[in-house]
Amino acid sequence: MKKIVVFVFLSFLLSFGADSAENPVVIKIQGKPRPPQVSTEPVVEEQGSMMSQGYFAVLPMPSQTWLRKQGISVERDPFFIYDGDFTFLGKWRRALFAREIYTDMPEILKEWQALAQEAEELPFPWETMGSVRLVYQNGNALAELKNREDGETSLSQKIVFKNKDASLEFDLYVISEFLGDVLEVLVAEPFAVNATASTSEVLLASFKLVNRTSPTNLSVNFATNESFVDFLKKNPRRPIRVVFRLKGDAKKTTTIQLDNIVISYR
């Protein structure tokens, strides 16, 4: 069964208070609810998310004090990719299993550890489909994507584009690949409902994976894509998903890793 896990703050801007319990994160898990922290009440995210129903749990994030000690920014600029080098997630997950956070909330610690141990879940601020997880290489945290037989594998994050003169850079590590495997980079509406691919997403680039040296630093110039420019005109100042989609032979396992994902503007 395809699983989608989305970690969304109640405000589009990421901010943490001094007390972790005062700033919950809404977590959507598509599947069977787990009492008692699960509610079936519809939740609609601010800024127009289509995530309007399902099962939700509310768990607090680390305190502002912990974030400051780790040198992690407590504010998200909506015009840029947040945690594109996975520093926040890497430090958070290590601290979680080292029991350095949530020490005064054993039930919260247990819930977070259960979620973090899932091999196919990557938490805030990313949205995932298929097999996506956080991995470590020489102490560095990266996002790992594997293709699946039951559907696509993708990693995405919503941003608001300042203008059309945007570009994307990222590091790609190819772990295993087969002829015909590609990594697509696209932009898409946030969980568009009943929309065709032509109206809900724009393909920006497609990178072949076979015989590619790792790591490879890749870039995509959005401004040169006329379809993107038109897409942006139709969605001014609206959250748009920047998506990395892995496509490969469903009968074989293709594995890639992504790191240092950066959006910049001229």
- Report all structural domains of the chain as residue ranges with CATH numbers, in order of start: 64-266 (2.60.120.200)
Q: Check: pTM over 0.85? Answer yes or no.
A: no
Task: Tell me the per-residue pLDDT of 106-151, one tens digit each, with 9 for 90 and over.
Answer: 888 888 888 777 655 666 678 888 888 889 988 899 999 998 766 6
Task: Tell me the per-residue pLDDT of 207-256, one tens digit each, with 9 for 90 and over.
Answer: 999 988 889 999 999 999 999 999 999 888 889 999 999 998 888 889 99
Average pLDDT over residues 6-18: 34
> Burial letters for 130-142: b for 16+ Cβ neighbours within 10 Å, e otherwise?
bbbbbeeeeeebb
Task: Tell me the per-residue pLDDT of 183-195, one tens digit each, with 9 for 90 and over.
Answer: 999 999 875 444 4
Q: Provide the pLDDT confidence category of residue 21 given band limits of 50, 70 and 90.
A: very low
Instruction: For the beta carbon of residue 214, count every other beta carbon within 10 angstroms.
Output: 13
Q: Which contiguous run of DSSP H or E holds residue 220?
A: strand 216-221
What residues contact residue 218 under an 8 Å CB cut-off, 6+ apart?
A: 169, 170, 171, 172, 205, 207
Return the percentage of the chain with pLDDT > 90, whole number. Answer: 36
